[in-house]
C-alpha cells in the first residue's frame, strides 16, 4: 500500500492511501467513539451496495447524481439530513463518489457544527487524481462554478483504483483531462522527484493506460500533494493546478454543465491556453503540436465548439481568480512548465478562442 502525507509545518493534514481493494478495509480505519455518516449519490450507492450496507442505514445520505445537483439545494438537503440525524462535533463524514459528491460533502463537513472530520473515498478517476486531494470544497451558483466553498482537507483520502472498473469511457476520459494537465505542469509543481509523466503518457499505448493507472494516479497524487504542501490556500504556487481551468469554466457555463464534462472542458482549456502560448511566443510550434497530439491521442476533445467570444471573455472576467477585471492566465512556457501571465491583451485572447 502506498501512503502520501499532506502536511503544514510538520503537522499532518491529510493521509492519502492508495491500494487495490482498500475499500474493503475502510471500516478498519474507523474509531469506536465516532459516528460515521456516509454521503454518496444514487448511482454509486447502486453500484457499491456492499459499502453502503456497512454503514448504519440511518447514517446514510444519498443525493441525486450529476453536476447540475452540485448546488445550494443539495447542500442544504445534506445539512438538514445531518442535523436531523443528530450529527455531533466528534463525528465524521465519509464522501463516497466523484468530485461532485466530494465537493458537496466536503463543504458540508467544513461548515456543519463549524466543522467535523472528513474522509474522502473517491470513485472516479478525476476525483482520485485531483478533486479529493487538497481540500477544496463547494458548490456551483448561477454566477459560475464553485463560487461558494472552503478549504477543508480530508483527514484521510482512501484511493481504491478498483472502483474504476465500473467507470464508463466518458468519465474515464474526464479524468484523463486532469492527468494530461499534471503531465504539462509537472516541472511547475516543484517536486523533488522527476516522474516525467509527459513521457509516460506519450510512450504508453492507449490500450495499456488502464494497466498503468495505479502508477499514474500515484504520480498525480504525489504532484498535487507536493503543491498543496507548499501552498495550502492557493496563495501562489497552487495556482499552477488551474492550468486550463480559467478557460474550462466558461466552457462549462456556456454549455450549461450538461453537454460537456469537467475533465473534457479542462482538455479544451489546455488547447486554448497552449494556442495563446504559441501566439504570445512562449512556446514553439513543436511543443504546441506535442500538447495537441497528446490530448488527441486520448480523444479528449472530439467535438468542435464555436463560442461567442465576447460572452466567453465576460465569463472569464467573472472567474473568482480575476482581480480588477484583469484576466490572469496560465499558459505553457516550456516543456512540462506553465507560467502565469497578467493583463492579457484581448485580441490575442480572442485569437486563441475557438
Tell me how far apart the alpha carbons of residues 292 and 301 are, in angstroms, rounded to a whole number. 10
Phi, psi of 353 (to 5 degrees): -85, 145
Other Cβ atoms closer than 10 A to 146: 18
- The stretch near ligand NAD (CB under 6 A) out of 71-79, 121-129, 199-207, 285-293 is 121-129
Tell me how far apart the alpha carbons of residues 342 and 239 are, in angstroms, rounded to a whole number. 13
* Contact between residue 154 and residue 106 where contact means Cβ atoms under 8 Å apart: yes
Contact between 253 and ligand NAD per CB under 6 A: no
State the minimum distance, in angstroms, from the CB of residue 104 to ligand NAD: 9
Tell me how far apart the alpha carbons of residues 17 and 114 are, in angstroms, rounded to a whole number. 26
Active-site residue flag, 23: no
Active-site residue flag, 238: yes
Active-site residue flag, 178: yes
Q: Which residue out of 67, 178, 186, 252 is catalytically annotated?
A: 178
Is 150 or 199 the residue whose CB approaches ligand NAD more closely?
150
State the minimum distance, in angstroms, from the CB of residue 102 to ligand NAD: 7
Contact between 262 and ligand NAD per CB under 6 A: yes
> Alpha helix (H) ranges present in 186-321?
197-203, 213-230, 245-254, 262-279, 285-297, 309-317
Contact between 275 and ligand NAD per CB under 6 A: no
Please, which of residues 125-144 interact with ligand NAD by CB under 6 A?
Answer: 126-127, 130-131, 134, 136
Tell me how far apart the alpha carbons of residues 104 and 79 are, in angstroms, rounded to a whole number. 10
Is 97 or 277 the residue whose CB approaches ligand NAD more closely?
97
* Contact between residue 219 and residue 2 where contact means Cβ atoms under 8 Å apart: no
Contact between 280 and ligand NAD per CB under 6 A: no
Among residues 7, 29, 43, 232, which is the contact residue for ligand NAD, using CB under 6 A? Answer: 43
State the minimum distance, in angstroms, from the CB of residue 224 to ligand NAD: 9
Q: In sequence order, what are the residues at sequence separation of 6 or more whose Cβ sits closer than 8 angstroms to the Cβ of residue 118?
A: 92, 93, 95, 105, 106, 109, 110, 152, 153, 154, 155
Buried b (16+ CB within 10 A) or exposed e, 244-266: bbbbbbbbbbbbebeebbbbbbb
Contact between 97 and ligand NAD per CB under 6 A: yes
Q: In sequence order, what are the residues at sequence separation of 6 or more whose Cβ sits closer than 8 angstroms to the Cβ of residue 172?
A: 125, 164
Among residues 4, 13, 22, 44, which is the contact residue for ligand NAD, using CB under 6 A? Answer: 44
Among residues 51, 94, 100, 227, which is the contact residue for ligand NAD, using CB under 6 A? Answer: 100
**What x/- string results for residues 186 through 225 when contact with ligand NAD is judged by CB under 6 A?**
----------------------------------------
Q: Which residue out of 3, 86, 114, 142 is catalytically annotated?
A: 114
Residue nearest to ligand NAD (CB): 99
Map residue 39 onto helix, strand or coil.
strand
Phi, psi of 87 (to 5 degrees): -65, 145
* Contact between residue 184 and residue 197 where contact means Cβ atoms under 8 Å apart: no
Contact between 163 and ligand NAD per CB under 6 A: yes
Q: Name the site residues for ligand NAD (rule: CB under 6 A).
A: 41, 43-44, 47, 65, 67, 70, 97-101, 103, 123-124, 126-127, 130-131, 134, 136, 145-146, 163, 166-167, 171, 174, 262-263
Query: Which sequence positions are flagged as catalytic?
Result: 114, 136, 178, 224, 234, 238, 242, 245, 249, 262
Amino acid at each position: 500500500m502506498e501512503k502520501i502525507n499532506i502536511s503544514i509545518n510538520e503537522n499532518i493534514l491529510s493521509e492519502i492511501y492508495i491500494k487495490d481493494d482498500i475499500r474493503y478495509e475502510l471500516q478498519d480505519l474507523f474509531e469506536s467513539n465516532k459516528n460515521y455518516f456516509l454521503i454518496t449519490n444514487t448511482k454509486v450507492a447502486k453500484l457499491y451496495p456492499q459499502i453502503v450496507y456497512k454503514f448504519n442505514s440511518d447514517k446514510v445520505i444519498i443525493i441525486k447524481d450529476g453536476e447540475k445537483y452540485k448546488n445550494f439545494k443539495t447542500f442544504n438537503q445534506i445539512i438538514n439530513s445531518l442535523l436531523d440525524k443528530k450529527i455531533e462535533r466528534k463525528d465524521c463524514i465519509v464522501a463516497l463518489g466523484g468530485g461532485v459528491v466530494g465537493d458537496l460533502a466536503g463543504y458540508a463537513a467544513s461548515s456543519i457544527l463549524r466543522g467535523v472530520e472528513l474522509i474522502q473515498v473517491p470513485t472516479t478517476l478525476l476525483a482520485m487524481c485531483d478533486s479529493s486531494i487538497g481540500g477544496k470544497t463547494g458548490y456551483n451558483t448561477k454566477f459560475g462554478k464553485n463560487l461558494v466553498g472552503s478549504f477543508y482537507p480530508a483527514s484521510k483520502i482512501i484511493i481504491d483504483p478498483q472502483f474504476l472498473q465500473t467507470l464508463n469511457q466518458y468519465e474515464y476520459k474526464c479524468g484523463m483531462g486532469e492527468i494530461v494537465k499534471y503531465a504539462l505542469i509537472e516541472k511547475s509543481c516543484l517536486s523533488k522527484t522527476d516522474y516525467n509523466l509527459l513521457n509516460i503518457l506519450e510512450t504508453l499505448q492507449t490500450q495499456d493506460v488502464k494497466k498503468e493507472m495505479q502508477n499514474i494516479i500515484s504520480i498525480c497524487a504525489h504532484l498535487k500533494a507536493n503543491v498543496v504542501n507548499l501552498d495550502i490556500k492557493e496563495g501562489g504556487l497552487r495556482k499552477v493546478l488551474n492550468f486550463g481551468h480559467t478557460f474550462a469554466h466558461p466552457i462549462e457555463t456556456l454549455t450549461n454543465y450538461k453537454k460537456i464534462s469537467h475533465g473534457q472542458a479542462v482538455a479544451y482549456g489546455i488547447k486554448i491556453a497552449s494556442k495563446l502560448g504559441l501566439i504570445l511566443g512562449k512556446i514553439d510550434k513543436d511543443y504546441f503540436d506535442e500538447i495537441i497530439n497528446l490530448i488527441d491521442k486520448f480523444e479528449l476533445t472530439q467535438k468542435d465548439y464555436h463560442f461567442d467570444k465576447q460572452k466567453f471573455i465576460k465569463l472569464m472576467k467573472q472567474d473568482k481568480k480575476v482581480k480588477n477585471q484583469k484576466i490572469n492566465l496560465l499558459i505553457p512556457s516550456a516543456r512540462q512548465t506553465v507560467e502565469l501571465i497578467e493583463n492579457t491583451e484581448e485580441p490575442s485572447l480572442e485569437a486563441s478562442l475557438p
